[in-house]
């Protein structure tokens, strides 16, 4: 019988706008992964990788619509993919903003 992985322990500040006690880690995996990698610290990211596994995290983060610029480089290094492979990067490149000067 496979061993059941214990639920991750995240900092409550990551999920400030939802009811933390009723957060379903398996049903809302994409939401949890995106939120942890955008707002979590190193320990939160470790917990997330332990619980979901690198394959699920890689698939989710490559297909997400938004990742903060300062986190995109970190995530790229963690999952070992170039920045150009991320959907959020391609969307940002196809919708340029005005030059800030």
Cα→Cα distances 21→6, 10, 81, 96, Å: 15, 11, 33, 39
Domain-located, residue 30: yes
What's the confidence (pLDDT) of residue 74? 93
Is 2 inside any structural domain? no
Residue 90 belongs to some domain of the structure: yes
Total number of domains in the chain: 1
Residue 32: enclosing H or E segment and its boundaries? Answer: helix 29-39
By residue range, what is the domain housing residue 80?
12-94
pLDDT tens digits, 64-85: 999 998 899 999 999 999 999 9
Residue 78 to residue 97: CA distance in whole angstroms: 28
Q: Give the residue-averaged pLDDT of 33-60.
A: 94
The confidence score (pLDDT) of residue 1 equals 41
Q: Please give the mean pLDDT across all residues of the chain.
A: 89
pTM: 0.86
In a domain, 100, yes or no: no
């Amino acid at each position: 019988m496979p061993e059941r992985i214990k639920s991750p322990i995240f900092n409550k500040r990551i999920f400030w706008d939802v009811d933390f006690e009723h957060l379903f880690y398996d049903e809302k995996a994409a939401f949890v992964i995106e939120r942890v990698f955008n707002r979590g610290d190193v320990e939160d990211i470790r917990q997330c990788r332990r619980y979901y596994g690198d394959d699920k995290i890689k698939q989710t983060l490559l297909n997400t619509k938004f990742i903060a610029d300062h986190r995109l480089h970190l995530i790229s290094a963690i999952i070992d993919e170039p920045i150009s492979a991320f959907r959020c990067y391609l969307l940002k490149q196809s919708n340029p903003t005005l030059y800030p000067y």
